[in-house]
A and B are shown apart, each in its own frame.
Chain A
Amino acid sequence: MTALTGCSPMPELLDAPRPAGWESLRQAAERALEAQRFPTLKDEAWKYTDLKTLRETTFTPVPSASVDIREHILPEAKGTRLVFVNGRFDAHSSNVSALPAGVRLLNLASASEAAKELGALATPEASDVFANLNTARFLDGAYLFVPKGVRVESPVHVLFLGSAQQDKTTACALSRLLVVLEKGAEAHLVEEHAGHGAFLNNAVAEIHVHEGASLGHERIQRQPVESFHIGSLHARIERNARYASRTVTLGAGISRQSPSVVLADEGAELNLDGLALLNGSQIADTHSFIDHTKPNGVSRQLHKTIADDRSRAIFNGKIFVRPGAQATDAQQQSRNLLLSEQAQVDTKPELEIFADDVKCAHGATVGQLDPEELFYLQSRGLNLTDAQNLLTYGFAADLIDRIPVPSLKRQLQQAVLDRTHSAGAGAKA
């Protein structure tokens, strides 16, 4: 594979000592990469998202950078925060002073015990070219481990910041996240991607939720519009465990989310929600895969997009129900709001069912604001623009309101408010 060649840390950093076990994983990923090529529009999984800009960008290895994290601080996670800049651990900005006994929240390079779990879900064989590039070259990442029966009260905040190079070339950040919740453990994680200037953030997350454990996972992508985000999520939910993930996409010129979740044992429960709020010429592509393998699994997926200007949203959601997965209850909804004539949405919900006793439903809507709703608000004295803005806000806020971290919820509500109230919705009426 020749593209993305500069997408790598400085050679001397890559050569630095790493925990035992990393080297064989890196080599496996490098071997997988040799057989993979950079995706084009001819690849089914990429046919709506043209990566030409990315392919033609010259990336340069990133030196360390210091950034100001003040605008990203969540007061609720004051002592449960890890910060990474361009894929490197920023110990100065991190604070893990408020962890319950036994809980581990640290950088992967310092967590030798995590080595055996790395790449266990994002295996080189099953990963695409971007995830393999990450596995082959990542320098460091975040590790959260919650032992059996422990509940982490404070939300855990993992902040991945990208920072442009001084010389105006494009930086490449490889972000890595590994989360393990042991039996009956509980935690709420906020994974945030932001930064300044032009960079590529190639992110891989591996999430393992063991029996009876429960993980809430907010994934917030608000990178600058001149940046790229390519993220994959590999999650495994064990018996009677619960995983609720909500991805909010506000930023990046081109972004891709590829969550892949296995309901690995009986009674596993999944919520996999997404919201993308796009304007300008942003492209946001979500390709999700939900794999029901055992009986009595429940999955709920609600994916919403709001596309304004010339932006483009892609949703491809596959739900797979394996032969043994009886009494599976899977529901998927793709709801899309188009605010301009030039905005575009491609949505494709896909169900593949190989069990006979299941309850599965999916649906997709693409449309403009409902005239009946607009009339109702107007009949209460709101002018058409205000009514349009309020309905657009509500469409997005409906998902954001469910975020249980108040400061993050307020930040995102404000971001949505700023976006929907400057949107062309009113002007185009």
Chain B
Amino acid sequence: MLSIRNLTAAINGNDVLKGIDLEIKAGEVHAIMGPNGSGKSTLGKVIAGHPAYQVTGGEVIFEGKNLLELAPDERARAGVFLGFQLPIEVPGVSNASFLRLAYNKKAEAEGRDELDPLEFDDFIQEKIKGVKMNASFLDRSLNEGFSGGEKKRNEILQLSVLEPKLAILDELDSGLDIDALRILGEAVNRQLRPDRALLMITHFPRLLETVQPDKIHVLAGGRLIREGGKELALELEERGYDWLLQDTGRA
């Protein structure tokens, strides 16, 4: 589904990604872990097309399309979704009307019927149950004044509305308490299908107890330095990242 080959990227002239190779197949769940500043969030943003990053080399192929040639919204309509670590607040734009607009843009791109406000209301009422969100959040401005946890809940609501083929979730666990983490983790699990894939970006292994990855990659210094199964998360929990960094340092 997603093939990343020798991807390098920079921001303000500083190299952040220094040659990433990553293969994600349909139906798989991958996790990228690593210390602060290792380039984890950058990788998610580069795949989604954040304009602040310059791709300096390599390629990102998603279902046969060269993602790097597409604008961020074209990537989204092609089926890529980035769940933000820090979702943006947009005053004056109601959450419900934004969700409907985003849903209808995707429906239009896929040649499906758009939903009018009444139809969308039925649709969204089902979806908010899945993330246990209070319906009053639909009438509020998008993310405005939401707590960190509420914003994350809203990201997963968007995920369940847009049903992307590839979801990249950047630090879903930050700002969440244990209960919310479990609820949202289960909501993410319900999105998993044989024709979809998931890439989790996280510091901490706890999320991976609920959403279990097939593969874990460790990113440090802009490179993927280790790959393993879900048992790697336990090892990282016990030993931290230092031993890996020292290993590669010597290599």
Residues of A within 8 A of B (CB): 370-373, 375-384, 386-387, 390-391, 393-401
Within the complex, the shortest CB–CB distance from A412 to chain B, in Å, comes to 12
Instruction: Give the chain B neighbours of A395 by CB distance below 8 A.
Output: 91-92
Please give the distance in Å from B18's CB to the nearest CB on chain A. Answer: 23
Scoring B residues 96 to 122 as 1 if CB is less than 8 Å from chain A, else 0, what string do you get?
001001100110010000000000000
Q: Shortest CB–CB separation between residue A236 and chain B, in angstroms?
A: 32
Shortest CB distance A34–B (Å): 48
Pairwise interchain contact B73-A387, C-beta atoms closer than 8 A: yes
Choose one: B48, B101, B141; the contact of A379 (CB below 8 Å).
B48
| In the assembled complex, B146 has its CB within 8 A of some CB on chain A | no
Smallest CB-CB separation from A413: which chain B residue?
B92
Q: How many Å lie between the Cα of A41 and that of B98 in the bound state?
A: 45
**Interface residue stretch chosen among B4-12, B49-57, B183-191, B209-217:** B49-57
Q: Report whether A390 and B98 are in contact in the complex, using a CB–CB cutoff of 8 Å.
A: yes
Assess the B92–A401 pair: CB atoms within 8 A. yes
Does B251 belong to the interface (CB within 8 Å)? no
B92 touches A382 (CB 8 A): no
Is A378 touching B91 in the complex (CB atoms < 8 A)? Answer: no
Q: A376 and B88: CB pair below 8 A? A: yes
Question: How distant is B58 from chain A, measured CB to nearest CB, in Å?
Answer: 21
Residues of chain B within 8 A (CB-CB) of A394 are 90-93, 141-142
Assess whether B88 is in contact with A372, with CB atoms less than 8 Å apart.
yes
A383-B51 in contact (CB<8A):
no
Quick check: B106 and A381 within 8 Å, CB to CB? yes
Decide: A373 and B71 in contact? CB cutoff 8 A.
no
Please determine whether B72 and A379 come into contact, CB atoms closer than 8 angstroms.
yes
Per-residue A-contact encoding for B60-98, CB less than 8 Å = 1, 0 else: 000000000001110111000110100110111100001
Q: Which B residues form the contact surface with A (CB < 8 A)?
A: 48-52, 71-73, 75-77, 81-82, 84, 87-88, 90-93, 98, 101-102, 105-106, 109, 141-142, 158, 162
Whether the pair B71, A376 counts as a contact (CB closer than 8 A) is no
State whether B101 touches A390 (Cβ < 8 A).
yes
**A-side interface mostly:** helix
Q: Knowing A380-B76, A390-B93, say if A371 contacts B52 (CB, 8 Å).
A: yes
CB neighbours (8 Å) of A375 from chain B are 49-51, 72
B92 touches A397 (CB 8 A): yes
Smallest distance from the beta carbon of B95 to chain A beta carbons, Å? 12
Q: Are the C-beta atoms of A396 and B92 separated by less than 8 Å?
A: yes
Cβ of B130 to closest chain A Cβ, rounded Å: 18
A375-B51, A379-B72, A398-B141 are known contacts. Are A391 and B90 too (CB-CB below 8 A)?
yes
Measured between beta carbons, the chain B residues less than 8 angstroms from A400 are 92
Known A-B contacts A382-B73, A382-B101, A383-B71; the reply to A393 vs B51 at CB < 8 A is no
**Nearest CB of B to A302, in Å:** 11
Also in contact, A371 and B51, with CB within 8 A (given A384-B73, A390-B101) = yes
Query: Complex formed: what's the CA distance from A377 to B82 in Å?
Result: 11
Complex partner residue of A381 from B50, B51, B102, B141, CB under 8 angstroms: B102
- Asked whether A384 and B71 contact (CB < 8 A) given A372-B88, A378-B76, A390-B101, the answer is yes
Do residues A386 and B105 form an inter-chain contact, with CB atoms below 8 A? yes
Contacts of A380 in B (CB 8 A): 73, 76, 98, 102, 105, 158, 162
Which single member of A381, A391, A393, A399 contacts B105 (CB below 8 Å)? A381
Residues of chain A within 8 A (CB-CB) of B98 are 377, 380, 390
Q: Which residues of B contact A381 (CB under 8 A)?
A: 73, 76-77, 102, 105-106, 109, 162
How long is the Cα–Cα vector from A377 to B158 in the complex, in angstroms?
11
Most buried by A among B75, B76, B92, B158: B92
Complex: how many Å from CA A395 to CA B50?
23
- For residue B62, give the distance in angstroms from its CB to the closest CB of chain A: 14
- Shortest Cβ distance from residue A400 to the other chain B in the assembled complex, whole angstroms: 8
- Given A376-B87, A381-B162, A397–B101 Cβ distance below 8 Å? no
B24 to chain A, nearest CB (A): 18
Known: A372-B88, A375-B51, A387-B73. A382 touches B102 (CB 8 A): yes
CB-CB under 8 A from A386, the residues of chain B are 101, 105
Instruction: List chain B residues, Cβ under 8 A from A373.
Output: 88, 90
Residues on A with C-beta less than 8 A from B52 are 371
Residues of A contacting B50 in the complex (Cβ-Cβ under 8 angstroms): 375
Knowing that A376-B87, A386-B101 touch, tell me 20 more A-B residue pairs with CB under 8 angstroms.
A370-B88, A373-B90, A377-B90, A378-B49, A379-B49, A380-B73, A380-B102, A380-B105, A381-B76, A381-B106, A382-B73, A382-B105, A383-B73, A387-B73, A390-B98, A394-B91, A394-B92, A395-B91, A395-B92, A401-B141
Measured between beta carbons, the chain B residues less than 8 angstroms from A379 are 48-49, 72-73, 75-76, 81-82, 84
Contacts of A393 in B (CB 8 A): 92-93
> How far apart are A165's CB and chain B's nearest CB, in angstroms?
39
